[in-house]
Structure 1
Amino acid sequence: MTVDAATGRQDGDKMNAVVYSEYGDPSVFEQKEVDRPTPNDSEVLIDVRAASVNAGDCHLMRGSPFLVRFMYGGILQPKLQILGMDVAGRVEVVGKNVTRFHPGDAVFGDVSKCGFGGFADYVVATADTLVMKSADVSFEEAAVVPTAAVTALQGLRGAGQIQSGQNVLINGASGGVGTFAVQIAKSFGADVTGVCSTEKMEIVRSIGADRVIDYTREEFTEHRQSYDLILDTAASHSLFDYKRALTPEGTYVMVGGPVGRLFQAMIFGPLLSVVGSKNLRNLLMEPNKDDLAFVKELLETGTVKPVIDSRYALAEVPEAIRYLEEGRAKGKVLVTLDANGS
């Protein structure tokens, strides 16, 4: 086995990957040499240039909530060896049934439906999970889009039925989903209020929020202002507080936050929606190529600009996940496998 001096990648049938074999904190991860995956007839092999860290990686790392163990097949220990949902890179090999892509194409997408595997030199994915990356968008920018931006889009356009001219509030506006949600809501012609902490206010202003509320000093649910749509990435209040902050026909959509509050929204949201005309619901993002293509157009036109907080090398995945769990990130946390990032 030899190593390419320019890229640090293994030659032959091996690759570098960050793996884990037990649930726990970020210390369960280690970088090691593993077999390079082989695509089947409907898959492509991607030379990964960048990957992003998501809350889903944290849940799978810890095996919490316990439901994720049933969903991904490992009750006592994980069956997934390599995490990483969002990737951007170049197509290395295509299966014989794949016609949309060719070796050398720059692509990005959410590979969670394909068994994850983004925290590695190479990953396999089905062609229908990927879209082409334009030359004007870097691999780093593309890698942070699939989960966070599609979650924001599905929450605003799908569950929230956003309309031009509405007053929209994004709770948790400085995070990965929140920074995309502010920009996507503006692209639909909404008047946008972002909620975040003091040190993150300038970031939220810089991406287009019409006003920013510092939650350490003000309580938005007690304002006289009411909102047509609230997209909640933090779940920091009770459903009753959110309902009070809505207009008579308003909609509240929870897309993130503590697991306990997510389950509360699933159970009690429909019940509270029955009383009156306000709608309270939660959303579990579903990877969707058409939604990803929609966000890709916003990215290519400059309507949406990814906010990247920090970059980590592949071997630093444990530190990247630890940093995300601390809740200090402004925007997205990136794992880069390409020294040029483009």
Structure 2
Amino acid sequence: MQAAHQTTAALTAASTGDAAGAMRAVVHRRYGTPDVLELGETERPVPGDEDVLVHVHAAAVTIGDHHMVTGKPYLVRLSPYGGLPGPRNKVPGGALAGRVHAVGAKVTGFRAGDEVFGQAMAGAFAEYAVVPAAALVLKPHNLSMEEAATVPWAATALQGLREAGQVTAGQRVLINGASGGVGTWAVQIARALGAEVTAVCSARNAELVRSLGAAEVIDYAKEDFVGGGARFDVMLDLVGNRALSDCLRVLNPKGVYVACGGGGGDWLGPLPRFAGMGLRSLFSSQRLRTFFSDPKQKELLFLKELVEAGKARPVIERSWALSEIAEALRHVGEGHSRGQSVVRVAG
């Protein structure tokens, strides 16, 4: 706790204000624990022809951001979001909400002053961020900026259920890890798609996931979800804490198992599990699928409509100041989040 307070003080002290042509930003110079981050001053980015410069009001703090900051599993350093030997993107953060400050020469769908949300490749933990216009949507009218910043992370749940899982009305869906940042969205999206949802989470989060639409809740500390046998059409696994054979035992003969990260070690992360899925699928009538979330405008528009219709809502565990980014990432990295965390960037 003392180290956390020291980190906050150091980050706050490092901030140098708002000079012309500059902006306040969280700077990521090397991989390591969240304490490697510095809150200082960098040059304001310039949008390309098909980009939008967003004045960031809030940004979601996700497990994906934690992976990018720590560089673990090491495999992420080889991705377009990572970099070798150090981080390619010097300002982390992806999901954001704010106001359009400027648009590129070829952008026609947005104008200065529009309230928007979307997914940047990086740079959301700063006062200004460049976002491709194709990854941006007008903010839902019934959400605050902080709430809207969490919505892009719901695209992971949407893609896992609708595209990889091909969930349809009347199906039975099991969600392992239902109370986390993606899980809380997954429960609501599966319900909106017409499925009956069984949620696996801790007892302290049972009432929360029920309020989101889960018909049944399994407390993993007291009950083994495998015990009931084959009874689900789709399983969305957000944790990866059970053997693949256990997960397949709960699915019907034609069921679909969808893995979304989780599990694995510091080197390859979930990649060995994904490889095992590919091998197992050659000899099974069940379908085993994985995917890498890449929020596009069509998913963001669907989520906006879902939120505005009252069929889904953000679950925010805590809102943090930008100077508390190290603590926020450390909390998310512990893996026991109740919904999502969000950082306040500008008012």
**Length-normalised TM-score, structure 2:** 0.91
Question: Could you give the per-residue CA deviations for residues 163-219 of structure 1, whole angstroms, max 9, x where no partner exists?
Answer: 111110000000011000000000111110000012111211111100100000000
Q: 2: CA distance between counterparts of 1:65 and 1:78?
A: 14
Q: 1:80 aligns with which of 89, 92, 97?
A: 89
Is this contact kept in 1: 2:17–2:41, CA < 8 A? no
Q: What does residue range 102-121 of structure 1 map to in structure 2 within 5 Å? A: 102-112=111-121, 116-121=122-127
> Does 1:245 pair with 2:250?
yes
Question: Could you give the per-residue CA deviations for residues 252-280 of structure 1, whole angstroms, max 9, x where no partner exists?
Answer: 10112124562233211122222231112
For residue 225 of structure 1, report the CA deviation from its aligned partner: 5.5
Is this contact kept in 2: 1:262–1:282, CA < 8 A? no
Q: Secondary structure at the residue paired with 2:270?
A: helix
Q: Relative to structure 2, which stretch is displaced further, 72-81 or 34-43?
A: 72-81
> Does 1:220 pair with 2:228?
no
Is this contact kept in 2: 1:87–1:143, CA < 8 A? yes
Q: 2: CA distance between counterparts of 1:205 and 1:68?
A: 34
Q: 2: CA distance between counterparts of 1:136 and 1:216?
A: 37
Q: Relative to structure 2, which stretch is displaced further, 132-141 or 194-203?
A: 132-141
Q: 2:132 aligns with which of 126, 136, 141?
A: 126
Q: 1: CA distance between counterparts of 2:186 and 2:327?
A: 26
Question: Could you give the per-residue CA deviations for residues 133-189 of structure 1, whole angstroms, max 9, x where no partner exists?
Answer: 13222111110011x211111111101010111110000000011000000000111
Is this contact kept in 2: 1:109–1:129, CA < 8 A? yes
Q: Relative to structure 2, which stretch is displaced further, 244-253 or 68-77?
A: 68-77
Q: Secondary structure at the residue paired with 1:50?
A: strand
Residue 259 of structure 2 is matched in structure 1 by 254
Residue 5 of structure 1 is matched in structure 2 by none
Q: 2: CA distance between counterparts of 1:100 and 1:153?
A: 24
Q: 1: CA distance between counterparts of 2:257 and 2:62?
A: 23
Is this contact kept in 2: 1:248–1:278, CA < 8 A? yes
For residue 223 of structure 1, report the CA deviation from its aligned partner: 1.7
Residue 74 of structure 2 is matched in structure 1 by 66
Residue 3 of structure 1 is matched in structure 2 by none
Letter in 2 for 1:151: T
> Does 1:100 pair with 2:102?
no
Letter in 2 for 1:74: G
Letter in 2 for 1:283: F
Q: Secondary structure at the residue paired with 1:176?
A: coil
For residue 9 of structure 1, report the CA deviation from its aligned partner: 6.7
Residue 168 of structure 1 is matched in structure 2 by 173
Q: What does residue range 28-43 of structure 1 map to in structure 2 within 5 Å? A: 28-43=36-51
Q: 1: CA distance between counterparts of 2:119 and 2:45?
A: 17
Q: 2: CA distance between counterparts of 1:93 and 1:289?
A: 19
Residue 54 of structure 2 is matched in structure 1 by 46
Q: 2: CA distance between counterparts of 1:338 and 1:227?
A: 44
Which ranges of structure 2 fall in alignment gaps of 5 or more residues?
1-15
Question: Could you give the per-residue CA deviations for residues 91-125 of structure 1, whole angstroms, max 9, x where no partner exists?
Answer: 0111222111000001111112xxx0000011011
Residue 304 of structure 2 is matched in structure 1 by 296
Is this contact kept in 2: 1:44–1:93, CA < 8 A? yes
Q: Secondary structure at the residue paired with 1:194?
A: strand
Q: 1:138 aligns with which of 130, 144, 147?
A: 144
Q: 1: CA distance between counterparts of 2:38 and 2:224?
A: 42
Is this contact kept in 2: 1:19–1:82, CA < 8 A? yes
Q: Secondary structure at the residue paired with 1:312?
A: strand
Is this contact kept in 1: 2:125–2:345, CA < 8 A? no
Q: How many matched pairs? A: 328
Residue 329 of structure 1 is matched in structure 2 by 337
**Length-normalised TM-score, structure 1:** 0.92
Q: 1: CA distance between counterparts of 2:229 and 2:236?
A: 18
Q: 1: CA distance between counterparts of 2:344 and 2:232?
A: 38
Identity of paired residues, percent?
A: 46
Is this contact kept in 1: 2:32–2:70, CA < 8 A? yes
Structure 1 residue ranges (4+ consecutive) displaced by more than 6 angstroms after TM superposition: none
Q: 2: CA distance between counterparts of 1:70 and 1:273?
A: 27
Residue 154 of structure 2 is matched in structure 1 by 149
